[in-house]
Amino acid sequence: MLTTTVAQAWISRWDRQQEGYLPDREERFTALIDAVEAGTDRPDPLVLDLGCGPGSLAARVLDRLPKATVVAIDTDPLLLALGRGAHSGRPELRFADHDLGTPGWAAALDLDRPADAAVSTTALHWLPETALRTAYGELASVLRPGGLFLNGDHLDVDDSTPQLHRLERALAERATRRRFGDDAPEDWRQWWNAAAADPALAELVAIRADATGHHGSESAHLAVHTVALRDAGFGEVGTLWQNGNNRLLCAIRA
């Protein structure tokens, strides 16, 4: 039985696990939401969260912008169940089960108006390049002209600047070491193993094991995202915030 309290506790544990990979996760969330606030210029934006996991970012958007509506999209049954369980009292937050790399998800959202912004954190690097291009094309079809896309992720510069590539990674790794030393939080695998051992979640973890495969990590380059966004119909594309290779990429729908 997945109660609100149990779901919230697992999301807090998820947040600690994710911080182990990016100690400035909250700072990046804050910068991203600052950009939504400044860039959408309305108190009640319609915001999509792509690859939302259990809804950590979606919830923070609503904490800052309580008149917003957020549609949070993911395909993982356990993470979606945690998000729905923890936030059932928030009608302005809807979780939707779609694979972002499969055409048709944007229309299936059945939005009553074009979205003002789309956000994403630590998710889209999972998509192989063709799936990423599909996702951005779908996104462009539901974002209003001038709408923002904000993507926080570890995105590497390409092979033409190998020293920058190495230094950007080195900065991110040093920041993590400085923050946690020898006391690193549990990692991704430990979190999933612990979830599988909780009787309240075991069934959902089993469904997940059947339903989802490993996607590989094929879109970790900044240039892949930049080119795919331009091709999908975004005009200005650039980095708004950065710490090493941990970036907040911003694109404006033309």
Site for ligand SAM in 161-220 (CB under 6 A): 215
Q: Find the shortest distance in angstroms from Cβ 91 to ligand SAM.
A: 21
Binding span for ligand SAM by CB under 6 A among 75-83, 193-201, 219-227, 233-241: 75-83
Q: Which of 35, 127, 139, 232 binds ligand SAM (CB under 6 A)?
A: 127
Q: Which of 17, 40, 69, 75 binds ligand SAM (CB under 6 A)?
A: 75
Q: Which of 122, 134, 219, 246 binds ligand SAM (CB under 6 A)?
A: 122
Q: DSSP letters of 75-88?
A: --HHHHHHHHHHTT
Name beta bridge partners: 73: 50, 96
CA pair distance 13, 7, nearest whole angstrom: 10
In this structure, are residues 156 and 169 in contact, taking their beta carbons and an 8 Å threshold?
A: yes
Binding span for ligand SAM by CB under 6 A among 82-90, 118-126, 142-150, 175-183: 118-126
Structure tokens belonging to residue 38: 């400044």
- Our finding on whether 72 is near ligand SAM (CB under 6 A) is no
Q: What is the DSSP letter of 92?
A: T
- 9-48 mask for ligand SAM (x: CB under 6 A)? ---------x------------------------------
**Closest-CA residue to 237 (of 150, 175, 159):** 150
Name beta bridge partners: 151: 120, 249
**Alpha-carbon dihedral 166, 167, 171, 176, rounded to 10 degrees:** 10
Tell me the residue number closest to ligand SAM, measured at CB.
53
CA pair distance 104, 141, nearest whole angstrom: 10
- Our finding on whether 153 is near ligand SAM (CB under 6 A) is no
Q: Which residues bind to ligand SAM, rule: CB under 6 A? A: 18, 51-53, 56-57, 74-76, 79, 99-101, 121-123, 126-127, 215
